Structure 1
Amino acid sequence: MNAKLTMVAASLALALSSAAQAGEVEVLHWWTAGGEAKAAQGLKASLQAKGHTWKDFAVAGGGGDSAMTVLKSRVVSGNAPAAAQIKGPSIQEWAREGLLQPMDAVAKAEGWDAKLPKVVSDVMKFNGQYVAAPVNVHRVNWLWANAAVLKKAGVKAPTTWDEFFVAAEALKKAGVIPLAHGGQNWQDFTVFESVALGVGGPEFYKKALVQLDAATLNSATMDKVLETFRKVKAYTDKNSPGRDWNLATAMVIKGEAGMQLMGDWAKGEFLAAGKAPGKDFVCAAAPGTAKSFTFNVDSFALFKLKNSANQAAQRDFASAVMSPEFQELFNLNKGSIPVRTDLKMDKFDDCAKQSNADFLATAKGGSLVPSIAHGMAVPSAVEGGIKDVVSQFWNNDSMTVAQAKQRIAAAAKGS
């Protein structure tokens, strides 16, 4: 009897200990669309399984601009969430303000350095310490197409920009919108960087949009990029301004449009709609970019918290983000690929397998480049300045190529 009581007491003590460590994790993210929302639920379930409470802090808007505005107001008022979806150079900007919590205890215990490509782990660190946990790798330079619509128009997914315009004309004659587009500045910029990569190649892209080299930004190649970009717009519909990206994807899914230039989060929408890659839809590198890869790594920056139970929950959150189980579940739903290099791709579709193979190959070949449109390449102020010019050029037919080129170069200088 005493032994039984001892066991009960030990179990109760363990339960109380667990309860004492159970905390709340408030997570700021913008995963509100179908495939993304499903993926976020997986992370929530993982935290709840450890006894923690998940407080959802979702701010709609695919590019995350709205979320950053809300985050800044929360941080200024001294009420930061446990984790916020922040990426690229912006992580360093927040860390320099002394607002982020180092997670090296978790990272070292779980061997993050050995499981992440250095190009990724460097982005997650400040002064050599992890202050953010990476979730995935997105390829941005994708072209998506409705297979039946392409077949009806008698064309294949274009591999060059010349082929793109031929296919667009055929789709137009077939009575569908050639290119589904959402007229928001981050979507305009997504198309722009794929045009820049496809027309200029990876070295031009790196010099112009990563290193912000003045001579390259003012080159004849940039003229050709802008001319091609403007020509692309002619194949979008007049209702595109203000349209969310997932609604543009839905146009392709429904056969209202033939193609979309968008990162691989679009694949999550096709999958959520029950569509099969290679059968119902085509995934191909954006024209001219088959041997290059623009990457966008989603990550959660971890803010300093005062409550010890919430700190423990935050550490469990970081661990859950990097766990093989979540990496697989999340990326199968999101359309991206795991950021860890040690996971098997058996459960992933052909689009993801191709993305993973290209990610590893371009990392070795030097044509793996950060997406400027998705906050991976340059400081946010410079990115915002260039983004504004690109959208002005997209929306204003009276702006000349020379004017756009001059304004992009000025924005790159921060002036």
Structure 2
Amino acid sequence: MKLKPFVQAALALATVVAATPAVHAAAQVEVLHYWTSGGEAKSIAELKKMMEAKGVAWKDFAVAGGAGENATTALKARVIAGSAPTAAQIKGPSIQEWGQEGVLANIDAAATEGKWDSLLPSVVSNVMKYKGHYVAVPVNVHRVNWLWVNPEVLAKAGAKAPTNMDEFFVAAEKIKKAGLIAVAHGGQPWQDTTVFESVVLGTGGAAFYDKALVKLDQAALTGPQMLKSFETLAKIKTYIDKDAAGRDWNLATAMVINGKAGMQFMGDWAKGEFTAAGKVAGKDFLCLPAPGTEKAFTFNIDSLAMFKVKNADEQKAQLSLASAVMSPEFQEVFNLNKGSIPVRAGVSRAKFDACATRSMDDMAAASKAGGLEPSMAHGMAIDSAKAGAIQDVVAKFMNSAMTPQAAVQALAKAAKTK
């Protein structure tokens, strides 16, 4: 992420920002984020309360829309203008890219005091560090490799909940024969890639997933296991309805909720849709690891990266913000609202449902067994240019007659994108 080429595109916005400098209180944090939906907004309101209770003023810089693209544009403009916020919602490799720009703050003092290294799995804490120093604080963990199932649809079709790909296709065929849609899906590139990465994980296992979609090993990308993944994905395509193109993910989830479809591959943000519809986990809907991925866990972590601030009061307030985000109290309230799970150990499970507690157990087990992996589809594993190129290949495969053999070759080429 070189900021210089961005200057012209952001100049107008940067000029406006520079012309209207923020008036800083003695102790204030300004937080740029895109948590603007109902549950997310509630969570941020709680964090604001926690900071105000510590005597720190909260300046909200919420930028809605575009899954964070709009927020990134605003952040770049602010940094160019020399008025970076205290913290900004950034995740995955993007944290490293901002670190390379020399604009992130060292928050080791908060991490040491809070014993973060002992509370976070190393695969998570490493993402929050730049050159060995904490520069960001994790907010939550989303599990991506879930399969959401309507048990009533299974019962109507005489099918059982699948644990592997063979069982998945048996269930899908029975649902289809019962006149219902087997797989609810939204034909958007990021959704296509979400299904794809769970298929790679399910057919090849965590070690293969890591080699292929995290390390981008060319032998793994072009080998028989990746070919099998695309062949499996091609078969899944046959169980998706013809109207899937362009459908939003939550509308696909609604199809499972109302019994029009039996199953959906989607991260645990889908649970919020079931909960909002008054459905109970384990009774009205099932949350199962995507077929074949029971011992693995692909994660998508929201985090706040901390930017260099000038005076001692601001630096102290920034460390206070980082500590508040990692507190058990905030981790509980944020994740109950978001549908995700706490990123740190030691948070009470009392208020979390069956899906969340299963997710907590599976994350702990996967972390110990080496099956905890960053989600490629959700910006946690590789840089944005390569991820975008891979997403294009998968979307083309899902929406054309492209063969698995051609897809494997295109995937390997996409992984070399600079």
User: Under a length normalisation based on structure 1, what TM-score does the superposition of the two structures give?
Assistant: 0.87
- Name the amino acid aligned to 2:383: P
Counterpart in the other structure of 1:5? none
Which of the residues 403, 413, 417 maps onto 1:414?
417
Counterpart in the other structure of 2:248? 244
Please state how far the C-alpha of 1:323 moved relative to its aligned partner.
1.0
Q: Map 1:239-318 to 2 at 5 A.
A: 239-306=243-310, 311-318=315-322
Cα deviation 1:357-388 (Å, max 9, x = unaligned): 11111111122222111122222222222111
Contact 1:20 1:309 in 2 (8 A): no
- Name the amino acid aligned to 1:209: L
Contact 2:25 2:57 in 1 (8 A): no
Distance 1:74 1:231 in 2: 47
Q: State the SS of the aligned residue for 1:59.
A: coil
Please state how far the C-alpha of 1:290 moved relative to its aligned partner.
0.9
Q: Map 1:11-410 to 2 at 5 A.
A: 20-29=25-34, 31-50=35-54, 51-62=56-67, 64-306=68-310, 311-397=315-401, 399-410=402-413
Distance 1:248 1:315, change over 3 A: farther
Contact 2:107 2:135 in 1 (8 A): yes
Please state how far the C-alpha of 1:46 moved relative to its aligned partner.
2.9
Counterpart in the other structure of 2:9? none
Please state how far the C-alpha of 1:201 moved relative to its aligned partner.
1.4
Name structure 1 gaps, 5 residues minimum: 1-18
Contact 2:63 2:70 in 1 (8 A): no
Cα deviation 1:311-341 (Å, max 9, x = unaligned): 5543332222111101011112222221111
Distance 1:32 1:404 in 2: 37
Cα deviation 1:20-70 (Å, max 9, x = unaligned): 5342423222x34454444344334433444523414133245x4454345
Q: State the SS of the aligned residue for 2:127.
A: helix
Alignment: residue pair count: 394
Contact 2:32 2:75 in 1 (8 A): no
Distance 1:234 1:382 in 2: 28
Distance 2:276 2:252 in 1: 15
Please state how far the C-alpha of 1:235 moved relative to its aligned partner.
2.1
**Which segment is superposed worse, 159-168 or 384-393?**
159-168
Distance 1:217 1:149, change over 3 A: same
Cα deviation 1:185-213 (Å, max 9, x = unaligned): 22111100000011111222121111211
Q: State the SS of the aligned residue for 1:369.
A: strand
Cα deviation 1:244-302 (Å, max 9, x = unaligned): 32232223223232211111121122223322100111000001111111122221112
Contact 1:59 1:66 in 2 (8 A): yes
Taking only aligned residues, the RMSD between alpha carbons, in angstroms, comes to 2.3
Counterpart in the other structure of 2:5? none
Distance 1:235 1:307, change over 3 A: farther
Contact 1:277 1:351 in 2 (8 A): yes
Please state how far the C-alpha of 1:237 moved relative to its aligned partner.
2.8
Name structure 2 gaps, 5 residues minimum: 1-23
Counterpart in the other structure of 1:4? none
**Which segment is superposed worse, 162-171 or 33-42?**
33-42
Distance 1:187 1:47, change over 3 A: farther
**Which segment is superposed worse, 90-99 or 52-61?**
52-61
Distance 1:287 1:151 in 2: 19
Cα deviation 1:152-191 (Å, max 9, x = unaligned): 2222221122222222222233343222222222211110
Distance 1:21 1:167 in 2: 61
Distance 1:222 1:155 in 2: 29
Distance 1:203 1:24, change over 3 A: closer
- Name the amino acid aligned to 1:173: K
Cα deviation 1:77-119 (Å, max 9, x = unaligned): 4454332222222211111111212212222222222221222
**Which segment is superposed worse, 277-286 or 100-109?**
100-109
Distance 1:171 1:213 in 2: 37
Distance 1:38 1:173 in 2: 43
Distance 1:248 1:410 in 2: 31
